[in-house]
């Protein structure tokens, strides 16, 4: 906020009204979350060109049209989030009839979410279920006979979204947001009562009380929003890749971690030809284990296929368990793989510790190490703990947050609510005091934003809070 002009230029466009209109720019993931190697993000609306120019750092008049481009995506902070392929399609010759931008990024759900969150920060809004198709229909890109199919699709998508949202809201998130909303409404009532009932015998206006309450709400909002990253982990699992030479015992280790026989395990090296994935729970975290084909210096034809997949897995991994046979310890690794092993995301696991009594891991490795035996269960408990610690470092969780898992849309709503609350707090602290109806306007913005998570908040509820707390009426 500019202190000189406390109420002349709000920059937050946080009060979002009805979500059915065209004219704004929408963004959403077009591929299912956490399933594929590639994730496709779609953006549609008049801001598409501006966004392409911003994130790919090109002049707006030099955006190639209808041609895929390979480039780094830069977020608002200037970080490169991913190397990806993007295509800009100007309207009306696009699927929705509007300017559109398609991004194919790596399938790591975290990357896709970071990109989405960044797009929202830049003024996009999350698309409603089926909104791309609706826009296509309203723009005349689909013919009349497809109308019913469009309606069915919107219906199906919204039912699914509703089911997901309800599951999440039951899991404590709804209660947390509802609690924030209730406190916002009480603060709003404490402000509005002086606007709408100037003739009443009211206690003196206490802006500090309202400020203290709202600071608390802002903290709650920010805490919830911070669960987005770990939220991604919670929903999709921490992508953990088992890497190692053939027959190092990766599959046995996976089976030991899963607690049941899942992967095809054989005595011959190279049995695991493609990667297998398995969900396990490590402490409070959901972990998606990827068992890869062995890393062989002289691969056969079929094996070569598996290795490409291994590399792909490795690039997207949140965590790597580098499995080494303790009975035949070799730390040689093709540089193609070794380059992916950034410190902090690698744990060197010496397996078959039962066959190598007295084995001591070399002390000069840049990664933490430990000795286990998938066969006897030796060291598996410690492995779990070490993985948990590593995940905590990747995505710190707070006490009580285990149940929270805000998605990109919810995080966007929380971000806008937070921005509004920032304006409100500045306004309440301003000297001379900012006009109360403007403070109220921003506060309503915060209520509306949170209402996008739990369902629209009826103005009547503020009046309920007002009449419950103040004796009004002449």
Partner 1 sequence: MSDSLSTVYEVIVCGAGHAGCEAALAAARTGARTLLLTGNLDTVAQMSCNPAIGGQAKGQIVREIDALGGEMAINTDLTAIQFRLLNESKGPAVQSPRAQCDKKAYQFRMKHTLELQPSLRLFQATVTGLLFESDGAGGRRVVGVRTNLDLDFRARTVVVTTGTFLRGLMHIGQNKNEGGRLGDFSAKTLSASFLEAGIELQRLKTGTPPRLAGRSIDFSRMEPQRGDANPTLFAFHDTRDAGALFHVEHGSPAGEPLREARLGWEPGRDQVPCWMTYTTERTARLVRENLHLSAMYSGEIEGVGPRYCPSIEDKFVRFADKPRHLLFLEPEGRSTNEFYINGLSTSLPFSVQVEMVRSIPGLEKAELLRPAYAVEYDFAPPTQLYPSLESKKVENLFFAGQINGTSGYEEAAGQGLMAGINAARKTRGEAPLILGRHEAYIGVLIDDLVTKGTREPYRMFTSRAEHRLLFNHGSAELRLRGHAREGCLVSASRLARIEAKADRIEHWTSQLERLRPAAGETGVGEGTWADLLRRRASKGEAQGSGATEIGPHGFLELPEVDRAEVRYRIVYAGYLAREQRQVAKLLEVERVNIPLDFDFAAVRGLRAESRTKLMETRPVSVGQAGRISGVSPADLSVLLVALEARRRGRIEDQTDR
Residue ranges in contact with partner 1 by CB under 8 A: 4-10, 13, 15, 17-24, 128-131, 134, 137-138, 144, 147-148, 150-152, 154-155, 157-159, 161-162, 192, 195-201, 432-433, 435-438, 440-441, 444, 456, 458-460, 462-463, 467, 471-474
Determine whether 460 is exposed, middle or buried from the number of CB atoms within 10 Å of its CB (0-12, 13-18, 19+): exposed
Task: Specify the residue, 178 or 388, whose C-beta has the smaller distance to partner 1.
Answer: 178
Query: What count of residues does the chain have?
Result: 474
Euclidean distance between CA atoms 413 and 121, whole angstroms: 10
Give buried/exposed letters for 302-336 (b at 16+ CB in 10 A, else e): ebeebbebbbbbbebbbbbbbbbbbbeeeeebeee
Give min distance, CB of 6 to partner 1, in A: 5
Task: Specify the residue, 88 or 137, whose C-beta has the smaller distance to partner 1.
Answer: 137
Give min distance, CB of 418 to partner 1, in A: 18
Task: Specify the residue, 196 or 274, whose C-beta has the smaller distance to partner 1.
Answer: 196
Beta strands in 19-171 (DSSP E): 26-29, 38-44, 69-74, 80-89, 100-106, 125-126
Euclidean distance between CA atoms 139 and 92, whole angstroms: 8
Cβ neighbors of 91 (< 8 A, separation 6 or more) are 97, 98, 99, 100, 139
Can you name the residues that pair with 87 across neighbouring β-strands? 102
In this structure, are residues 313 and 241 in contact, taking their beta carbons and an 8 Å threshold?
A: yes
Give min distance, CB of 61 to partner 1, in A: 26
Structure tokens at 343: 């410190």
Task: Specify the residue, 154 or 311, whose C-beta has the smaller distance to partner 1.
Answer: 154
Cβ neighbors of 462 (< 8 A, separation 6 or more) are 185, 188, 189, 192, 447
Give min distance, CB of 7 to partner 1, in A: 6
Task: Specify the residue, 4 or 298, whose C-beta has the smaller distance to partner 1.
Answer: 4
Task: Specify the residue, 139 or 355, whose C-beta has the smaller distance to partner 1.
Answer: 139
Among positive and negative, which fits the CA dihedral 8, 10, 15, 21? positive
Can you name the residues that pair with 70 across neighbouring β-strands? 85
Give min distance, CB of 177 to partner 1, in A: 17
Instruction: State the pairing for strand pair 69-74/80-89.
Output: antiparallel
Give min distance, CB of 197 to partner 1, in A: 7
Euclidean distance between CA atoms 126 and 43, whole angstroms: 9
Task: Specify the residue, 374 or 420, whose C-beta has the smaller distance to partner 1.
Answer: 420
Task: Specify the residue, 125 or 415, whose C-beta has the smaller distance to partner 1.
Answer: 125
DSSP code, position 160: H
Query: 324: helix, coil or strand?
Result: strand
Task: Specify the residue, 17 or 62, whose C-beta has the smaller distance to partner 1.
Answer: 17
Give min distance, CB of 14 to partner 1, in A: 9
């Amino acid at each position: 906020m500019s202190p000189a002009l406390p109420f002349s230029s709000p920059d937050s466009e946080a009060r979002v009204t009805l979500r059915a209109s065209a004219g704004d720019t929408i963004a959403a993931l077009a591929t299912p979350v956490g399933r594929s190697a590639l994730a496709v993000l779609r953006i549609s609306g008049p801001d598409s060109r501006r966004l392409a120019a911003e994130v790919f750092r090109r002049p707006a008049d030099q955006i190639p049209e209808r041609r895929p481009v390979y480039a780094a995506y830069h977020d608002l902070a200037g970080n490169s989030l991913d190397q990806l392929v993007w295509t800009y399609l100007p309207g009306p010759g696009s699927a929705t009839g509007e300017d559109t931008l398609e991004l194919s990024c790596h399938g790591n759900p975290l990357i896709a979410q970071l990109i989405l969150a960044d797009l929202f920060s830049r003024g996009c809004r999350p698309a409603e279920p089926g909104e791309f198709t609706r826009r296509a229909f309203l723009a005349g890109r689909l013919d009349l006979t497809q109308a019913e199919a469009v309606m069915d699709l919107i219906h199906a998508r919204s039912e699914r979204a509703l089911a997901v949202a309800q599951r999440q809201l039951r899991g404590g998130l709804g209660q947390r947001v509802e609690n924030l909303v209730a406190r916002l409404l009480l603060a709003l009532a404490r402000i509005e009562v002086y606007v709408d009932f100037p003739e009443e015998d009211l206690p003196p206006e206490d802006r500090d009380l309202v400020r203290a309450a709202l600071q608390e709400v802002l903290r709650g909002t920010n805490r919830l929003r911070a669960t987005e990253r770990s939220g991604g982990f919670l929903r999709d699992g921490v992508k953990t890749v088992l890497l190692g030479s053939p027959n190092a015992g990766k599959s046995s280790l996976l089976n030991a971690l899963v607690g049941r026989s899942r992967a095809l395990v054989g005595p011959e090296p190279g049995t695991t030809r493609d990667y297998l994935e398995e969900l396990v729970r490590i402490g409070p975290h959901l972990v998606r284990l990827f068992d890869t084909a062995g890393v062989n210096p002289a691969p056969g034809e079929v094996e070569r296929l598996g290795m490409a997949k291994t590399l792909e897995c490795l690039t997207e991994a949140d965590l790597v368990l580098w499995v080494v046979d303790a009975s035949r310890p070799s730390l040689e690794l093709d540089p193609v793989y070794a380059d992916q092993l950034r410190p902090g995301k690698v744990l060197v696991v010496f397996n078959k510790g039962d066959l190598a009594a007295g084995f001591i891991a070399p002390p000069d490795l840049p990664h933490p190490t430990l000795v286990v035996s998938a066969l006897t269960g030796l060291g598996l408990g410690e492995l779990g703990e070490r993985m948990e610690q590593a995940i905590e470092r990747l995505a710190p969780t707070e006490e009580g947050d285990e149940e929270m898992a805000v998605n990109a849309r919810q995080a966007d709503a929380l971000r806008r609510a937070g921005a509004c609350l920032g304006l409100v707090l500045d306004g309440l602290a301003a000297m001379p005091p900012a006009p109360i109806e403007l403070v109220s306007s921003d506060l309503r913005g915060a209520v509306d934003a949170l209402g996008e998570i739990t369902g629209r908040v009826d103005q009547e509820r503020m009046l309920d809070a007002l009449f419950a707390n103040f004796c009004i009426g002449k």
